[in-house]
Amino acid sequence: MTKIKDATVLITGGAAGIGRLMGDMCLQDGANQLVIWDINKEKLDETTRELRALHFIVHPYSVDVSDLSQVIEVAKRVKSEVGEVDILINNAGIITGNRNFSDFSHADIDKTMAVNSSALMHVTLEFLPGMVRKGSGHIVNISSAAGMLSNPKMSVYCASKWAVAGWSESMRIELESNRTGVRVTTVNPSYIDTGMFAGVKVNPIMPLLKPEILAAKVVRAIKFNKLFVRAPFMVKLVPLSKGILPVRCFDLIVGKWLGVYNSMGDFKGHGKK
């Protein structure tokens, strides 16, 4: 089990949404201090004030995780001012959707991949060596159900989340093989009811996830060293379904009958977690 009590927890995109909720829950579970990285300075200040008013130790840092120079510089400051990180939750992300791939710009592609994929690797690379040296630690990587399912009209987002899922699993196997004591959890949620996915089409089989419930599942996964968090239940069936169904059948059942391939038709989301 991973101990949250007395741990130093760092959450990217931690000033709002599920990042804020996971930070709250870790502090309530006895985390010694919370390090919040976020690009939204106003939300960062607001969250810090509210948590400090409850007598929690919070260290806020304004960071654009897509800027490698900022990631390296701020990580250096964290290690100097706060100390080594015990639990890292790579949560920051953006969404680009409701467009065919041919309608994306080069800038859209680069920004999405930088925030949703490369940033997680760069941030982890800054804090993983410290975890390995002490023989313990936990890294949580927020991917998506879109990292398991090729959903049309969100091809670039899917690409970024598939990259996270593949890298996260590969790193987990490496760390376990080398007996480092560092754990990895990959999170693959469907659409979350935070405003990020405003306008997506859902159904009773694939409903909008309540952010409080997902955050609690992730914190529980940290405690019990779970390899994956996949929600709602239907997401857990995706690997099996893709493995046993012919592609055209999968497209028909999941895409047409369950409506997943049309889910981005009215998407309006605000873009950031």
pLDDT of residue 232: 84
The tens digit of pLDDT for each residue in 56-89 reads: 999 999 999 999 999 999 999 999 999 999 999 9
0.85 exceeded by the pTM?
A: yes
Helix axis angle, 119-134 relative to 68-81, nearest 10°? 30
Would you give the DSSP letter of residue 94?
B
**In angstroms, rounded to a whole number, what is the distance separating the alpha carbons of residues 157 and 97?**
7
**R_g (Cα) of the chain, nearest Å:** 18
Quote the distance between the C-alpha of residue 44 and its chain's center.
18
Q: CB within 8 A of 69, min separation 6: which ones?
A: none
**In angstroms, rounded to a whole number, what is the distance separating the alpha carbons of residues 192 and 142?**
12
Bridge-based pairing state of the strands 87-90 and 228-231: unpaired
For the chain, which residues make up each domain, given as ranges?
Answer: 8-262
What is the number of helices (H) and of strands (E) in the chain? 10, 7
157 tagged catalytic: yes
Q: Which amino acid is at 51?
A: L
The tens digit of pLDDT for each residue in 144-197 reads: 988 998 888 889 999 999 999 999 999 999 999 999 999 999 999 987 876 555
- Which of 61, 157, 191, 261 is flagged as catalytic? 157
More confident residue, 264 or 109: 109
Residue 41 tokens read as 């300075």
* 8 A C-beta contact, residue 164 and residue 116: yes
**In angstroms, rounded to a whole number, what is the distance separating the alpha carbons of residues 126 and 139?**
12
Kindly compute the dihedral angle of the four CA atoms of residues 128, 125, 225, 229, in this order, to the nearest 10 degrees: 170
Q: Which fold has domain 8-262?
A: Rossmann fold (3.40.50)
